Chains A and B, each alone.
Chain A
Amino acid sequence: MVRFVARRLISMALVLFAISILTFLIVQAIPNGDPAQRLAGRTSTPETVAAIRRTWGFDKPIYVQYAITMKKVFTGTVISYHQQVNVLGEIRRDLPATLSLSIGAGILWLAAGVGFGLFSAITAGRFTDRALTALSLVGVSTPVFLVGAVMLYLLAFKLGIFPNGGYVPLTQDPIQWLYHLLLPWTALSVLFVGIYSRVLRSNVLDTINEDFVRTARAKGLAERRVLVHHVLRNSMVPIVSLWGLDFAAVIGGGAILTESVFNLQGVGQYAAQSIGALDVPPVLVVTMFGAFFVVMLSAVVDVLYAALDPRIRLSG
């Protein structure tokens, strides 16, 4: 176990290191991406550009720039090019919106996915099963921003029963917080509900035919009890691990489209705007932040998975 954790940590650090280098190269080394020219503004002289290049250290070799930027990231003093604000402060400001969106949506898609999947499995072959299967297939085939945009148009713009995007902090007004998040949660969940209900459905159907379930049934246990205690429990193991990984991916930048459509002004939207402006420091920090969540939670999931299913052995 200790060895597993240690190896996992080292590999995590390596991956994050590589990601930071890659990101820095992608956004820094592009043609005409000279940040000094952008910082100098439209009507600036070459002297101004040169002065900015000196002050910001853009004249140094790229590995030195990388090292300086990373040092600033870890000391919390990294400043964006655009508007020159502290990047970590911006992320801290935007994090509540992203967490509200991903946690809420995560709960919703898990609950709805399991509910629909179970119902579908119980009524396998019947109309409800087919309808739910069809719906889930449509769900996994629709881009989230299309769902979001159409929802906003119909429910917010046309009927006016929901707010037209935006985020209200929980601490400011819990009711409005909930009200503003209902549509984004739903939109983000559509895809995952589609996936989860199908996975759960097939897992339940596989489990139902296993020996221990037959035995339980033969012992005369109530059908509901068999379903919940034996079938569902065993079918949930892969779902839980899947959920952990998906949740990590959503926090780690996966919610970028949903945040943009609903204008939630979370970390993802900040990332999208920063990339559009080729603002290197925020792109770098947000990418590492996202990757950190992905590798971190996937390690946690592995450990949990092993705990839930003793047949799995942990290996680095």
Chain B
Amino acid sequence: MSKPIRLILGSAGAMALALALSACGGGGGGQNAATGGGKQGGAATVLMGTAPDFLDPAQGYTTQSAEATWITYTPLLTYKHAPAPQGTELIPGLAQSLPQISPDGRTYTLTLRKGLVFSSGKPVKASDFAYTIQRAIKANWGGKSFFTGNIAGASAFDKGSAKTISGITTDDATGKITIKLVKAYGAFPNVLAFPAAGLVPKGTPTRNLSASPPPGVGPYMITKVTPNRTFTLVKNPRFVGLDIPDIPKGNLDRITVNITSNTQSEAQQVLNDQADAFDAGDTLPPALLSQIQSRAKDRFSKETIPSTFYFFLNTRLKPFNNEKARQAVNYALDKRALSRLASGFLDPECYFIPKGLTGHPDAPCPYGDPNQAPDLAKAKQLVQQSGTAGTKIVVWGQMRSPRREYVDYYTSVLNKIGYKATPKIISDETYFPTIGNAKTRAQTGFADWIQDFPNPSDFYLLLDGSAIQPTNNQNFGLVNDPHIQSELARLNKVPTTKLGSVAKDWQALDQYVAGKGYVAVYGSEKLPKFLSSRLNFDAAVFHPLYLNDWSSWSLK
């Protein structure tokens, strides 16, 4: 890749040609990642039903936040700006290349690219990386345990017993960055690709800067923020001059994001071309679906993202401490029904590792084809055999649609196969802290996981017995199986870049989990890609991690 470029730059004539090409790059529409590929300039409006939690990369943890921050704060590593499956491929971001990993898997070495500058004009230094990680830890970023649990000395820094993170050493002169881990963690390259690890200048205040986000390195900058109402991304003029292959420079000059809590009017405006994009993180109102499918066929699609929707089953409480009772639930769930409750935005599925991720089993589902009617007779029989019939069950659920509908349906199924179930629906914000609190003793209920990064170990954190904690627990079913533990100990060490070599092992583990019925999986979420007719639909990338890739958008 680098060789031909150097050859061209060698000749003055060719260089002039290259300049001319990039000057009119938009008009030509050449599919070159470096220029963004589409027509240059113009503006677009995105409507969001749910505001990003934070626009400060050190705090943002929701999809809505990542949509904006992954193109404004480029980390050392990032993902290819491409749809699935290539979009899950790790590429060097601000680092020159993918990290060198020591044989024991505990030392990562990276080198910063030369000549990088922040949107403020300040040059990027290797020490900015150390500062960025420290800042995210201090700001209590939602995923900070990925840093504190893996990087040597990060936990001490978090507790205040160290002024810096001893495991990170940087050399501003050479741009060399060395990271030492407490133990081998194969998914660590993915951790480095979180937008929260996107570099900000040293000295950026630790307090929440969502109202005026700090400078970063990326094709866009976040400006004009009115919290919960609107913010605007404008092109970062200093990014165009940087030499970062595979990260598009963006086409649109300006992307305005308006937050409106009415998804119906949101969808209508996009349908009528009054706005340019329906945020993929929102639920498309089912009532408008038929209209959209008929009137906007060429600018609407359903995209499956690697995610798992399931009901957790508490393996330590009645009745689901009984394997047969758990299997009965898996037999009884009609995944087609759940898909209808989601207006078709759910792909029926039965395995915990979702499709599109290494490790997803090819074997048929142990409980029958998820696209066919369930085996209720078998389920009832298993409940009888387990001797748990008549057990009272409280089914926990979230208020928001269609999650509440899922739980109402699930409750009805449990009653049909012989239990005495009642739903308990609580507010969205308090849901996970509540069921993740050991005191709640939740028997079963709604749970989901949308990939943080393309590695099955991200999902298996939810079934890891060693991750059980008294509060904010994510292993809701308190699954603690020796076989899972020994497999995880081995598989979690395999670097993301070598995942292919252990794909079969992950598949076997996932089939084991399905057979034991530790969870009742029912599907993967599909998200709407819905744009106005002003935008180039086919060139617009729907990224498997960060959804709509605004930097790939261009006007027709």
Name A residues whose Cβ lies closer than 8 Å to a Cβ of B: 32-34, 37-49, 51-52, 55, 82-85, 90, 93, 157, 163-166, 263, 265, 269, 273, 276-279
A32-B437, A90-B227, A93-B226 are known contacts. Are A48 and B140 too (CB-CB below 8 A)? yes
A-B complex: 8 closest residue pairs judged by Cβ atoms:
A41-B142, A37-B433, A164-B265, A263-B262, A277-B429, A32-B434, A85-B227, A45-B145
- Bound Cα distance A269, B228 (Å): 12
Name B residues whose Cβ lies closer than 8 Å to a Cβ of A: 51, 53-54, 61, 140, 142-145, 148-149, 155, 158-159, 208, 210-211, 226-229, 260-262, 264-265, 268, 399, 427-430, 432-434, 436-437, 439-440, 461, 469-472, 474
Checking B158, B260, B428, B472 against A263 with a beta-carbon cut-off of 8 angstroms, the contacting residue is B260
CB-based contact A52/B145 at 8 Å: no
From residue A183, how far is it (CB to closest CB) to chain B in Å? 13
Chain A residues whose C-beta falls within 8 Å of the C-beta of B430 in the assembled complex: 32-33, 38, 278
Chain B residues whose C-beta falls within 8 Å of the C-beta of A163 in the assembled complex: 265
- Bound Cα distance A157, B262 (Å): 13
CB-based contact B433/A85 at 8 Å: no
From residue A94, how far is it (CB to closest CB) to chain B in Å? 9
Chain A residues whose C-beta falls within 8 Å of the C-beta of B437 in the assembled complex: 32, 37
Chain B residues whose C-beta falls within 8 Å of the C-beta of A82 in the assembled complex: 53, 429
**Residue in A43, A49, A279 with the greatest tally of chain B CB atoms within 10 Å:** A43
Show 28 A/B contacts (Cβ-Cβ < 8 Å), sorted by A: A32-B439, A37-B433, A37-B437, A37-B472, A38-B429, A41-B142, A42-B142, A42-B474, A43-B142, A44-B144, A46-B469, A46-B472, A47-B159, A48-B140, A49-B472, A83-B53, A83-B54, A85-B210, A157-B264, A163-B265, A164-B264, A164-B265, A263-B260, A276-B427, A276-B428, A276-B429, A278-B429, A279-B429
- Bound Cα distance A41, B144 (Å): 10
Q: Residue on B with the closest CB to A34?
A: B433
- Bound Cα distance A34, B439 (Å): 13
Chain B residues whose C-beta falls within 8 Å of the C-beta of A277 in the assembled complex: 427-429
CB-based contact B145/A44 at 8 Å: yes
Chain A residues whose C-beta falls within 8 Å of the C-beta of B436 in the assembled complex: 37, 42
- Bound Cα distance A55, B229 (Å): 28
CB-based contact A52/B428 at 8 Å: no
From residue B391, how far is it (CB to closest CB) to chain A in Å? 24
- Bound Cα distance A95, B488 (Å): 54
Chain B residues whose C-beta falls within 8 Å of the C-beta of A40 in the assembled complex: 140, 142, 472
Chain A residues whose C-beta falls within 8 Å of the C-beta of B427 in the assembled complex: 276-278
Q: Residue on B with the closest CB to A37?
A: B433
A37-B437, A83-B54, A84-B210 are known contacts. Are A46 and B470 too (CB-CB below 8 A)? yes
A32-B433, A38-B429 are known contacts. Are A43 and B471 too (CB-CB below 8 A)? no
Chain B residues whose C-beta falls within 8 Å of the C-beta of A84 in the assembled complex: 54, 208, 210
- Bound Cα distance A184, B465 (Å): 53
Chain B residues whose C-beta falls within 8 Å of the C-beta of A46 in the assembled complex: 469-472
From residue B224, how far is it (CB to closest CB) to chain A in Å? 14
From residue A231, how far is it (CB to closest CB) to chain B in Å? 46
From residue A174, how far is it (CB to closest CB) to chain B in Å? 20
- Bound Cα distance A32, B437 (Å): 8
Beyond contacts A37-B437, A41-B143: 12 other A-B pairs, Cβ-Cβ < 8 A, are: A32-B437, A32-B440, A34-B433, A37-B436, A41-B61, A41-B472, A42-B472, A43-B145, A48-B144, A48-B158, A84-B210, A166-B260
- Bound Cα distance A49, B208 (Å): 17
CB-based contact B149/A45 at 8 Å: yes
CB-based contact B142/A44 at 8 Å: yes
CB-based contact A37/B471 at 8 Å: yes
CB-based contact B261/A263 at 8 Å: yes
Chain B residues whose C-beta falls within 8 Å of the C-beta of A265 in the assembled complex: 229, 261
**Residue in B51, B211, B227, B429 with the greatest tally of chain A CB atoms within 10 Å:** B429
From residue B450, how far is it (CB to closest CB) to chain A in Å? 11
From residue B136, how far is it (CB to closest CB) to chain A in Å? 12
- Bound Cα distance A276, B439 (Å): 22
Chain B residues whose C-beta falls within 8 Å of the C-beta of A33 in the assembled complex: 430
Q: Residue on B with the closest CB to A30?
A: B430
Chain B residues whose C-beta falls within 8 Å of the C-beta of A52 in the assembled complex: 140
CB-based contact A263/B265 at 8 Å: yes
- Bound Cα distance A58, B314 (Å): 30
- Bound Cα distance A183, B525 (Å): 36
Chain A residues whose C-beta falls within 8 Å of the C-beta of B61 in the assembled complex: 41
From residue A222, how far is it (CB to closest CB) to chain B in Å? 52
Checking A47, A83, A93, A164 against B262 with a beta-carbon cut-off of 8 angstroms, the contacting residue is A164
CB-based contact B143/A43 at 8 Å: yes
CB-based contact B228/A90 at 8 Å: yes
CB-based contact A47/B158 at 8 Å: yes
Chain A residues whose C-beta falls within 8 Å of the C-beta of B469 in the assembled complex: 45-46
From residue A47, how far is it (CB to closest CB) to chain B in Å? 7
Chain A residues whose C-beta falls within 8 Å of the C-beta of B155 in the assembled complex: 47
CB-based contact B471/A48 at 8 Å: no
Chain B residues whose C-beta falls within 8 Å of the C-beta of A83 in the assembled complex: 51, 53-54, 210, 227-228
